[in-house]
Amino acid sequence: MLPIHRDIFLTKDIFEKHLLQQLSLSKVLAPLFIETKTGIQDDLNSIERPVSFSAKQMPKKRIEIVQSLAKWKRLALAQYQIEPGEGIVAVMHAIRPDEEDLSSGIHSIFVDQWDWEKRILPEDRTLHYLKTTVQQIYQAIKKTENELTEKLELTPFLPDEITFIHAEELLSLWPDLTACEREDKICQDKGSVFIIGIGGELADGQKHDGRAPDYDDWSTPTSAETKGLNGDILVWNPILQRAFEISSMGIRVDKQSLLHQLELEDAAHRKELLWHQALLSDKLPLSIGGGIGQSRLVMLLLQKRHIGEVQASVWPEETLSSCEQNGINLL
């Protein structure tokens, strides 16, 4: 096997092993596409355009490539009768044609991630449970880095612990900076952070970043000044000298937070969709879940300059030319 491909598969295998152990997950198969208008599609920031098609023998059905498995996984938890404290993980492949930042070297129209979901109890819908889960995921990342350090003679760079900070706190620290600039600041200072509360409006009336209203809970109050039981794991990437997002995750909406967030986002019509009706009828378990970028994590831990060095995709001509000039070998 070619060395770079060997290292990519090695990194994925090691991390997956630790992730399953840390979160008590079982690996399952997942769909590449789903039927439109079921409510299962993940709307991400609510503006992305899913890739769709029709099948010859099902001409009246519109089918969409998944954008993530956020909603499908809760259906799977119910179908497989997963017990509280246990969960599932699937390898998700997606196409996101509306990606606008292909020149950055960290985005691609091809997305691959570990999509995981864990069943929880009502009393687990707390900030403490969220933080504990984040720490477990971060330990899986650290253990992977440690093993790769020994096997591939790499220099480790991630801190031993992850820092927690709310998006409101970041805003108060650097009110004159953009959300991305605030991420750079905190990641450079701390090395690795989990930014809590992404999706709802902050004190300045702006969102740190967008989130669809029907998977993560970004509206439940956690203090007098803060709300949200979700967030992002980011680290400082020493190769790129910038903040680097690894995972978006959170405690999922219950009936109350779903209805509230649909109202906030002027999306109350979604209540009639099949998935939403299942949740509102208590047919779906409470859960926590998220996605962890496969190529993102591999790129980070193998200390590569471009995501195209660890995944096969299609790139604009200017990207191909720039990478060739800078000695970056795209797969």
Residue 169: CATH number of its domain: 3.30.930.10
CA end-to-end span of the chain: 14
Residues facing residue 112 across a β-bridge: 93
- The pLDDT averaged over each successive group of 10 residues in the chain (331 residues) is 88 97 95 76 60 81 82 91 96 83 83 95 97 98 96 94 97 96 97 96 93 93 94 96 96 96 93 90 95 95 94 88 88 87
The residues assigned a catalytic role are 42, 96, 113, 232, 245, 248
- Domain that includes residue 264, residue range: 3-325
Instruction: Check: pTM over 0.85? Answer yes or no.
Output: yes
Within-domain flag for 331: no
Q: What's the chain's Rg over C-alpha atoms?
A: 20
CA 108, CA 330: separation in Å to the nearest integer?
A: 12
CA 160, CA 140: separation in Å to the nearest integer?
A: 11
Are residues 232 and 194 in contact, defined by beta-carbon separation less than 8 angstroms?
A: yes
Type of residue numbered 126:
T
pLDDT the model gives residue 32: 87
Within-domain flag for 330: no
pLDDT the model gives residue 42: 61
Q: Domain count for the chain, please give it.
A: 1
Residues facing residue 221 across a β-bridge: 227
pLDDT the model gives residue 29: 92
Within-domain flag for 267: yes
Phi, psi of 22, deg, nearest 5: -65, -40
Phi, psi of 105, deg, nearest 5: 85, -5
pLDDT the model gives residue 87: 97
> Two tokens at 231?
């967030």
Query: 3-state class of 218 per DSSP?
Result: coil
